[in-house]
Structure 1
Amino acid sequence: MTQALNSAVAEATKLPPDEQDALAAILIEEIASEKRWLQSFAKSENILETMATEALAEFRAGKTKPIEDL
């Protein structure tokens, strides 16, 4: 455990039990959310690469406009 997390846990132990439970629920949900994001991003890597290649081809072909011109 890092020093920062150790310090945070030490502070959390000073909270009333219901607040500790609420904090734990938030932390668990954040960890789960990060895992979902990483899995989603990993699955979309090929799609993003294809989209980037297509966007660059359109740009090089002069088929794009600057945002300020929209």
Structure 2
Amino acid sequence: MSTVEEIESAIENLKEDEFLRLAKWLEAKVADAWDRRMNQDSKDGKLDFLFDEAGSERVTGELNPWPATR
């Protein structure tokens, strides 16, 4: 049995409050990983195309405010 399978099995046996605690912890870990990835991608210039696109849309008047206003 792999470590992942052992973890999955252990999760299946958690009480509801323990499971919810674990889910909250995992959600925070995923969010942190996402933030690190986005920050690195930004530093590496991988998101520059978004700034270029927004700049072009600003010039042509197609840029919508964010968050959207009504």
TM-score normalised over the length of structure 2? 0.53
Structure number with greater Rg is 1
What residue ranges of structure 2 are gaps of 5+ in the alignment?
Answer: 46-70
Which one-letter code corresponds to 1:44 in the other structure? K
Pairwise CA RMSD: 1.5
C-alpha distance in 2, partners of 1:13/1:19?
11
What residue ranges of structure 1 are gaps of 5+ in the alignment?
Answer: 47-70
Identical pairs, percent: 16
Asked if 1:24 corresponds to 2:23, the answer is: yes
Higher relative contact order (CA 8 A, sep 6+): 1
Q: How many residues align?
A: 44
How much does 1:9 deviate? 2.0
TM-score normalised over the length of structure 1? 0.53
